[in-house]
Amino acid sequence: DYKNAMKIAQSRKKYWRLSNTHEVHRALTTKQLYKWGLIPLAQLAELAYARY
């Protein structure tokens, strides 16, 4: 919702700390990341280790 989005947008915390908030996890689901063509880091790590 708008109130939570504004709370995140106006936060003074760094991006890394904000990435662990409930609001960000609700907004950026794995399904949404796939839709944008992004691969989850866990899957990317598996692909990297599979090449060795």
Residue spans of the domains in the chain: they are 2-50
- Here the tokens at position 10 are 């106006």
- Residue 29, H or E segment: none
Residues 34-43 have a mean pLDDT of: 88
Q: What is the pLDDT of residues 7-35, one digit of tens each?
A: 888 888 887 887 888 888 888 888 888 89
Planar angle of CA 24, 25, 31, nearest 5 degrees: 120
> Is the pLDDT reported for residue 1 higher than 80?
no
